[in-house]
Amino acid sequence: MSNPLLEVKDLHVEFDTYDGTAQVINGIDLIVERGETVAIVGESGCGKSVTVKTILGLLPEADISQGEILYKGENLLELSDAKRHARRGKEMSMIMQNPMSAINPVFTVGEQMLDVLKWQGQHRVGITDWVRDKFRSEAELRERAIDMLEQVDISAPERVFESYPVELSGGMRQRVLIAIALLLEPDFLIADEPGTALDVTTEANILELLDDIVEEHDTSVLYITHDLGVAREISDQLNVMYAGEIVETAPTETLFEDPQHPYTRGLLESIPQLSRGIGAGIPGKLPDYTDPPTGCRFADRCPHAETECREVVPHLRRTEPEHAAACHLFEGDPHLDRHQDAVTEFPYIGPPPWQADTDETEVDVR
Amino acid sequence: MSQPLHTDRFEYAPGDQIQDEIAVFDDKDPLLRVENLSKHFPIYEGIIKRQVAAVRAVDDVSFTVPRGQTFGLVGESGSGKTTLGRSILRITDPTHGTVEVDGTDVTSLSGGALKKQRKDMQMVFQDPSSSLNPRKTIKQIIETPMKIHDIGSAGERAQRVEELLEMVDLPREFMYKYPSSLSGGQKQRVGIARAVAVNPKLVVLDEPTSALDVSVQARVIEILNDLQKRFDLTYIFISHDLSLIKNVSDRIGVLYLGRFVETGDVDSVFQDPQHPYTRALLSAIPTVTDEDRQYKPPELTLEGEIPDPREKPTGCAFRSRCPEAFEPCAEEEPAMYQTDSTRCSRCYLHDEAYQDTGGSDDQ
Ligand SMILES: Nc1ncnc2c1ncn2[C@@H]1O[C@H](COP(=O)(O)OP(=O)(O)OP(=O)(O)O)[C@@H](O)[C@H]1O
Ligand SMILES: Nc1ncnc2c1ncn2[C@@H]1O[C@H](COP(=O)(O)OP(=O)(O)OP(=O)(O)O)[C@@H](O)[C@H]1O
Ligand code: SF4
Ligand SMILES: [Mg+2]
Ligand SMILES: [Mg+2]
């Protein structure tokens, strides 16, 4: 807790839309310690990309109505655009969710990589830099770039270096993007669904590579994925997000041993398996952000919901020393300081049915 | 568990070399018939842009898909799955070969006839972001194929868009949004809605659920299954998620460097994969339960990487990574061998002539 690299406090993000204000991010808190990998998992549309793009300042159309984003103790929301831009290049790197729109189609992969190596993070280039770069040999940079492509498991790095993005397969583009993000050895890496186009073996190799880089450079990683298996593999701390709120957070292994929030449990049950087919999924869909429910945002889809759930917002409570869940099935002290006073109003509808019948942590079948 | 679908439709002797790959599954009146399809991308070099080599992204591929079935396409990144799908639908023009959809040879069509044929052949693209026009609203995007093919009045089309959005679990308010304000998974679902809007006969689904969490994925798959049953749709389903492929496909094809190395009924391939590459792929599936583990072949890790498609190894293309490789593999590319009534595999291990030499894996 002492001196985290990134601390997001009570972040609220809204969009003006055709049907009114969409309150997409509704008060989330995140802490990324130095050298730690933190994952966010959650359903499509729950606000993962909005969260990370807000951290990087990539959403000019968003209204950040409340909150702070402290990076190395400094509130990014108060920095000038130029300063944020500089941060983004040198210290923070992002692997975007959509490879094609993040790579420039008119330049070859090599041109873009060399460009990153030469200029990225330098908003305005001074004459001394220019002279220095002139003398840094192109061949050396090229070698570095090709080596990075090789590290992300690209089998013909020279060919890919010379290729235009359209000449690459989906998975190759994604790996090029990863390679570009890693070139600068950033302090802080945000990876938004970097593995969606990759097969398990390749993804495993890339996770390993990330691991190495984290070890070597003490990089902190914020990893966005919809895949719980991947999150388990990569992260130290796991945050489960639902409809713009963090509904459960715990050290990764703890969360898998004892999933608490009904949404987390539903996600775990829906994982397709070889033997038992594709699960049914969690019935229902995300609420409308322009007219969100007043109580628990998950209540309409929750098999355990009671009237209290629809009336009172379940703030995150500390259910175990390092485990917090936002659900009225659980008791515990408020996890966040700002909810200290709200505690007496919390209804308790528990214990959770899966704990009442057995003391097993087996996932229940609805 | 697995019921061979074709047991008595033809005669075979295990280990028969197959002259005509496509005859194995003797599908009468298939919806899709792909014969000797190739797509090569030339590589030019020098100032005069002389062609020096070619990426053989798809190389002499043949298969059929019966109407109303799903053909699963698997293989590592860069193995040619997308290129095969695009060539079948004439989104890109194949270098050689023929594709017949419902009896029509689409490789020979052009102009108006091709345009008309396109109504029956749709694609869900792998990268949802770049396949949606950023300047159009979601309604306009989903409506476009209906407009091109002159289907329905403006009112009917609007209603259809609403239905389609509902179907892929998106609220109707999304009609008036632009792609930039959608999440990755939401865009992917718009792509699915657009592809099925005109009631096509054949849909190539290229990683259609890669951006979706398991819960939304389960529902989207259910919808796709439902559509398939209702309208007798035929799918080619591309995915790197093998558990998903196992659950959605009737038959699968395993691509390696643009060639099929194994094709067959999905259950038999998963239960007892024949080609060493298929075994390696299956043994890498992450499993959660013990039940699942039974499905996995013994651990088989691949050494090395998929070779550069410009410089395919001579002989068997998989030779450079194959733990079973033996003498004949270096000489000539193996033919497809029919290993039983439900599948075939491109590997010398199945050749009777080498039963004793290379048979380290015979169970
Ligand atoms: N620029 C925008 N304007 C209006 N709404 C937006 C904008 N960007 C995102 N949204 C909405 O915010 C919600 C969250 O989007 P976000 O992209 O964060 O989802 P996500 O969790 O990343 O989902 P996925 O896994 O599908 O990528 C979505 O409902 C989306 O439609
Ligand atoms: N327009 C093109 N020009 C040159 N080469 C191309 C072109 N399109 C694809 N290729 C090459 O063809 C090969 C197969 O690509 P394809 O996109 O079909 O792979 P894929 O199996 O879909 O892979 P992924 O799982 O990564 O999407 C790759 O080596 C790729 O670089
Ligand atoms: S608070 Fe109520 S509705 Fe929300 S997840 Fe818990 S039990 Fe379900
Ligand atoms: Mg996203
Ligand atoms: Mg592809």
Range of the domain at B55: 28-350
B361 inside domain: no
Residue closest to B262 by CA, chosen among B7, B328, B320, B270:
B270
- Cβ–Cβ under 8 Å, residues A30 and A93: no
Amino acid (one-letter) located at B135: R
Query: Domain of B40: which CATH number?
Result: 3.40.50.300
Cα angle at A110 between A105 and A115, to 5 degrees? 85
Which CATH superfamily is A6-236 part of? P-loop containing nucleotide triphosphate hydrolases (3.40.50.300)
- Cβ–Cβ under 8 Å, residues B127 and A99: yes
Do B77 and A199 count as a contact with CB atoms less than 8 A apart?
Answer: yes
Per-residue pLDDT tens digits of chain A, which is 366 residues long: 568 999 999 999 999 988 889 999 999 999 999 989 999 999 889 999 999 999 999 898 999 999 999 999 999 999 888 888 877 777 888 888 877 667 888 899 999 998 888 876 454 455 666 566 655 677 888 999 999 999 888 888 998 999 999 999 988 998 999 999 888 888 999 999 988 878 777 787 888 888 888 888 888 999 999 888 888 888 999 999 999 999 999 999 999 999 999 999 988 887 766 666 677 778 888 899 999 999 999 999 999 999 999 999 999 999 999 999 999 999 888 898 888 876 666 788 878 888 765 554 455 444
B331 inside domain: yes
Tokens in use for A217? 């450079």
Tokens in use for A285? 């869909």
B6 inside domain: no
Ligand 3 nearest-atom number relative to CA A310 = 3
Measured distance between the N- and C-terminal CA atoms of chain A, rounded to whole angstroms: 38
Q: Which residue CA neighbors atom 30 of ligand 1 most closely?
A: B182
For A177-228, give the DSSP string. Answer: HHHHHHHT--SEEEEESTTTTS-HHHHHHHHHHHHHHHHHH--EEEEEES-H
* CB contact set of A307 (below 8 Å; sequence gap of 6+): none
Report the separation in Å between the CA atom of B254 and the middle of ligand 4, taken as the mean of its atom positions. Answer: 30
| B288 at A interface, C-beta within 8 A | yes
Q: List % helix, strand, coil for chain A (3-state, nearest 5).
A: 40, 20, 40
Ligand 2 nearest-atom number relative to CA A172 = 26
What is the H or E stretch that residue A333 is in?
A: strand A333-334
Chain A CB contacts of B128 below 8 Å: 98
Q: Which residue CA neighbors atom 31 of ligand 2 most closely?
A: A168
> Is the distance from the beta carbon of residue B51 to the nearest atom of ligand 1 less than 6 Å?
no
User: What sign does the dihedral A333-A336-A337-A339 (CA atoms) show?
Assistant: negative
Chain A: residue whose CA lies nearest to B213? A226
Alpha helix positions (H), A219-361: 228-234, 252-257, 262-269, 307-311, 353-357
> Is the distance from the beta carbon of residue A226 to the nearest atom of ligand 1 less than 6 Å?
yes
**Chain length of chain B:** 363
Per-residue pLDDT tens digits of chain B, which is 363 residues long: 333 333 333 344 555 666 566 666 667 789 999 999 999 998 887 777 787 788 899 999 999 999 999 999 999 889 999 999 999 999 999 999 999 999 999 999 989 999 999 999 999 999 888 889 999 999 999 999 999 999 999 999 999 999 999 988 898 889 999 999 999 889 999 999 999 999 999 999 999 998 888 888 888 898 899 989 988 999 999 999 888 999 999 999 999 999 999 999 999 999 889 999 999 888 877 665 666 666 666 777 776 777 877 777 889 999 988 888 888 899 888 988 888 888 899 999 888 887 765 444 443
A90-106 per-position pLDDT tens digit: 788 888 887 766 788 88
Do A198 and B78 count as a contact with CB atoms less than 8 A apart?
Answer: no
Ligand 3 nearest-atom number relative to CA A303 = 8
pLDDT at B341: 81
Beta strands in B76-209 (DSSP E): 96-101, 104-105, 121-124, 202-206
pLDDT at A365: 47
Q: Which residues pair with B200 in a beta bridge?
A: none
Protein residues whose CB sits closer than 6 Å to any atom of ligand 3: A 262, 296, 298-299, 302, 304-305, 309, 314, 327-329
Which residues numbered 242-281 in B keep a CB inside 8 Å of some CB on A? Answer: 242-244, 246-248, 270, 281
Chain A: residue whose CA lies nearest to B177? A18
Q: Which residues pair with A39 in a beta bridge?
A: A223, A238
For B271-318, give the DSSP string. Answer: HS--SHHHHHHHHT----SHHHHHHSPS--PPPS-PPPGGGPPSSSTT
Beta strands in A237-290 (DSSP E): 237-242, 245-251
Q: What are the sequence ranges of the domains in chain A?
A: 6-236, 241-345
Q: Is the preceding peptide bond at B200 cis, omega within 30 degrees of 0?
A: no
Helices (H), strands (E): how many in chain A? 14, 13
CB atoms within 10 A of CB B185: 29
Q: Which residues pair with B204 in a beta bridge?
A: B123, B236
pLDDT at B358: 47
B132-179 per-position pLDDT tens digit: 999 999 999 999 999 999 999 999 999 999 999 998 889 888 999 999
SS3 A130: helix
> Is the distance from the beta carbon of residue B186 to the nearest atom of ligand 1 less than 6 Å?
yes
B152 inside domain: yes
Q: What is the ipTM of this complex?
A: 0.84
pLDDT at A197: 79
Cα angle at A95 between A5 and A322, to 5 degrees? 40
Chain B CB contacts of A96 below 8 Å: none
Split into its structural domains, chain B has a count of 1
Chain A CB contacts of B212 below 8 Å: 44, 226
SS3 A25: strand
Look at the block and give the residue holding tokens 């033997």.
A275
B150 inside domain: yes
B12 inside domain: no
Tokens in use for A341? 């006073």
Chain B: residue whose CA lies nearest to A266? B215
Mutation test of the interface with chain A: which of B125, B126, B212, B214, choosing the one with the most A Cβ atoms within 10 A? B214
Q: How far apart are CA A245 and CA B76, in angstroms?
A: 36
Residue closest to A67 by CA, chosen among A329, A244, A249, A330:
A244
CB atoms within 10 A of CB A122: 14
User: What sign does the dihedral B99-B105-B108-B112 (CA atoms) show?
Assistant: negative
Q: How far apart are CA B218 and CA B197, in angstroms?
A: 20
pTM: 0.88
Select from B78, B129, B246 the Cβ nearest to the Cβ of A171: B78
Distances (CA, A) of B200 to B92, B101, B121: 19, 11, 6
Residue closest to B195 by CA, chosen among B154, B150, B146:
B146
CB atoms within 10 A of CB A74: 12
What is the H or E stretch that residue B253 is in?
A: strand B251-256
